[in-house]
Chains A and B, each alone.
Chain A
Amino acid sequence: MTTRMTVLGWETKNLRCPDHELVLDPRKTGAHVSLIQMPNGTGKTTTLNLLRSALSGHHWDGGEWTATEVRSLQSERKPARGFFWLHLGCNDMKCTIEIELDFALGTHQYRTTVPGSGQRDGHHPPAELAPFMQPDFVPFFVFDGETAQQLCDRSHTKADQAIQSLFQLQKMIGMSDFAETYWQRQGPAESVDQSLKQYQNKLSEARAKRDLLSNESRNLIIRQEAIKRELLDIDNAFADAIREHEEVKNRIAGLESGIERITKQIEQSAADALRVFRNPAAAISTTLESLNHFRSSLNRLKLPEDTSQEFFDELADDGTCICGRPLDDQARSQILERKKLYLSTEATAFLNKMKSDIGTQAEGANQSILLRNLSKEIENLTTQRHKNQIALELTKAKAAEESGLGDKTDRRDELIKEDVRILTRLEEITNSSITGVQVSKDPKMFRNLPAIEKLTQLLEDYISKKQGLQATKWKCKLVQRILDRSLKTAGDALQKHAVLEANEKLDRLLPNNRIRIKEIDRSLVLTNDQSQGSVGETLTVAYAFLSSIFQRADYHELPFILDSPVGSLDNDVRGEVGSLLPDLSHQVIAFVISSEKEAFWPAIQSAVPADGLRLHTLFRVPNAEYESAAEQAPERCVARSCDGILVTDRHFFDNFQRDDD
């Protein structure tokens, strides 16, 4: 959808130009070309500057307002404050931008009014118009001779900038810049590639170490099984050898039987000792003494016989207390209430049972002697079994020696020692209780399989994350390349098109002049080594260029506001420009002085139908001659203020002439 900006009108109050209200709204006036005739000294430049300031939100030169500049706009009547209101249309929406100037303080204040949002402090144009209502772009559609000069001046970049701004190519620069910052915000930018490489190397080491430990573990298990098989073979060989010697065989059988019997005796004695130990009073004399002391204390306190709750129930039924005091209802109630604080029947029974049990325990006091005996017996049996086991081993070894299996005994010892070492190492490799594994650790230092597996996983996760970041960077760089290439391609194509179009217009505007646009290199580069044409030529080239790019950018329709559009042109060119200007935009507003009308005015009249033209003449009062002439105009076409008169009558416009213009 095309975005159309329209200047609906403006109002001024207490400023250097006469107070006036200008209505330009093409929807009301039907005019797309408005000529505003203001004699020199009426405040034409002031009005244009205020238009630039209202449109851009900045001082008219693009900078910030100063107190001196604010005060320079004060009316000769010396009011305290001055106002400028610019009414804009954005498609069907209306927007008003107000500038309030405080001449005493030298300050300014912007306000923006948009229907539905009310008035807000500051410069807040509709979003669709905002890209064009910027200090660096407003001069291209509020246009004067200075901007025309800069378009052709090699020290300025105005031509390039005009295309970039109108087609918003600078948005691509902003997008590219954002892509650059986007990936940088995702993580530490500088060391991504280097650290990724570093961690990838570490992951390779971790994987190699993991494989190494895994292989070691597998080999150890294989070796362990081989040891078991070899041990079994040796034991079988021993068994075979023993079977061949009857005497040795019987001796070994006797020893094995003895060991078995002693083991059973040890188990039985241990069970007896455990039973005794379950009664600490019987096993330990000091415990029994303590319990007897506790029982005596209960008897001495006559517990629990004298403190049962039943005692208090009986007392409450009696008429007098045990102390002889008569008991009333309140006292009885208290006794019954507080009896809960004393022992119940169940608690009394428990205490009686405990006293009885303590008495029974005293009878088993000699159990401690039994416990000591059992302990001694277990000790003797264990010693005896150990002796039998040594005798058994020696007998077997001797049998092996006699059977020529002596080397097998050494081998068996070696295998058993190796099996122990393997078990220890396997425990070390496979222990799953791992702590402190971090990506910063050196894989070479790991001796545990679950730990190195965890490190590998951590490194894989870490690298995945880093790769995600690297992918983001790579993608952002790709987007930047696309945008940079697009910017260059689009800029070149739009420039070429603008040069072609503008030169076609110049063929018509300056048929007898060889000056043309050669190329756009920051500024407009003219042909035939003419670094700069005359003022008139420069202005003509500027119109041709701007009209070309404005007409192309038909999805953004902007008004075109000109200051003295043909003031510096020869009459023959004025006519051509007059016929060209109406095509510049859907709304052309030109500030003119009376002397500019020659040649230009007839061309405008030819190019624009009468109902498409709106003519204004603004002059200061008092001025007897003009006021008298204004009285001849229809009353509806005359608007008077305290210091000026605005006439919108065509006849008045035609005939208005001022000698010093």
Chain B
Amino acid sequence: MNEAIDNTIRESILSATAAEGETPEVGELILAWFSELAKGADPAQVNADRIQHVLEAIEDPFRNTEDAT
């Protein structure tokens, strides 16, 4: 899926994702987004969908805020 990505870039994205405490799935989704753009996809066509997938995979940090309020 992301074969057009240099290993250095792949490792950078995955390690940056882990450093932020997120799951590898989030990193893979960012990689997939990057890969699609690197293959020449039109950002206007893919960005909204791709970021939505990434955001959905990130756990909602305010899920338990209701109790706090």
Contact = CB atoms under 8 A, between A and B. Distances in A.
Question: Chain B: interface residue count, which band?
Answer: 35 or more
B30 A467 contact: no
Nearest to A2: B4
B9 A486 contact: yes
B25 to A, nearest CB: 13
A128 B12 CA distance: 23
Given A463-B69, A556-B4, A175 B37 contact: yes
B48 A182 contact: yes
B19 A494 contact: no
A179 B61 CA distance: 17
Interface stretch (A325-333, A468-476, A642-650): A468-476
A553 B9 CA distance: 11
Nearest to A464: B66
Contacts of A172: 34
Contacts of A168: 34, 37-38
Interface in A160-183: 167-169, 171-172, 174-175, 178-179, 182
Nearest to A201: B69
Interface residues of A, number: 49
A552 interface: yes
Contact of B51 (A129, A179, A471, A555): A179
A555 B16 contact: no
B65 A479 contact: no
Interface string B10-24: 011101110110100
Interface string A47-79: 000000000000000000000000000000000
B55 A486 contact: no
Q: Looking at A3, A172, A552, A556, which has the most chain B CB atoms within 10 Å of its CB?
A: A172
Contacts, number: 116
Nearest to B57: A475
A441 interface: no
Nearest to B14: A486
Nearest to B56: A475
A131 interface: yes
B51 A178 contact: yes
Contacts of A175: 30, 33-34, 37, 47, 51
A474 B21 CA distance: 14
A471 B8 contact: no
A478 B33 CA distance: 15
B6 A494 contact: yes
A172 B31 CA distance: 10
A203 B34 CA distance: 42
Contacts of B66: 460, 464
A126 interface: yes
Contact of B40 (A129, A472, A497): A129
Q: Looking at A475, A482, A483, A552, which has the most chain B CB atoms within 10 Å of its CB?
A: A482
A172 B51 CA distance: 12
Given A482-B13, A482-B17, A174 B37 contact: yes
A200 interface: yes
A497 B11 CA distance: 14
Q: Looking at A2, A129, A171, A472, which has the most chain B CB atoms within 10 Å of its CB?
A: A171
Nearest to A166: B6
A567 B22 CA distance: 54
A485 B8 contact: no
Contacts of A479: 30, 51, 54-55, 58
B34 A171 contact: yes
Interface string A142-176: 00000000000000000000000001110110110
A204 interface: yes
A175 B49 CA distance: 12
B15 to A, nearest CB: 7
A129 B40 CA distance: 7
Contact of A127 (B9, B17, B41): B41
Contacts of B12: 485-487, 489-490, 493
Contacts of B48: 182
A481 interface: yes
Given A479-B30, A490-B12, A171 B51 contact: no
Interface of B: 3-6, 8-9, 11-13, 15-17, 19-20, 22, 26-27, 30, 33-34, 37-43, 47-48, 51, 54-55, 58, 60-62, 65-66, 69
Interface of A: 1-3, 126-131, 167-169, 171-172, 174-175, 178-179, 182, 200, 203-204, 460, 463-464, 467, 470-472, 474-476, 478-479, 481-483, 485-487, 489-490, 493-494, 497, 552-553, 555-556
Given A128-B40, A168-B38, A483-B30, 19 more contacts: A1-B3, A127-B39, A129-B40, A169-B9, A171-B34, A174-B37, A175-B34, A175-B47, A178-B43, A178-B47, A182-B47, A182-B48, A200-B69, A463-B69, A471-B62, A486-B12, A486-B30, A489-B15, A555-B6
25 contacts: A1-B4, A168-B34, A175-B33, A175-B34, A175-B51, A178-B43, A178-B51, A179-B51, A182-B48, A200-B69, A471-B62, A474-B61, A474-B62, A476-B51, A479-B51, A483-B13, A485-B12, A485-B16, A486-B16, A487-B12, A489-B11, A489-B16, A490-B8, A497-B8, A556-B4
| 7 smallest beta-carbon distances between A and B, as pairs | A127-B40, A490-B12, A485-B16, A489-B12, A486-B12, A486-B16, A171-B37
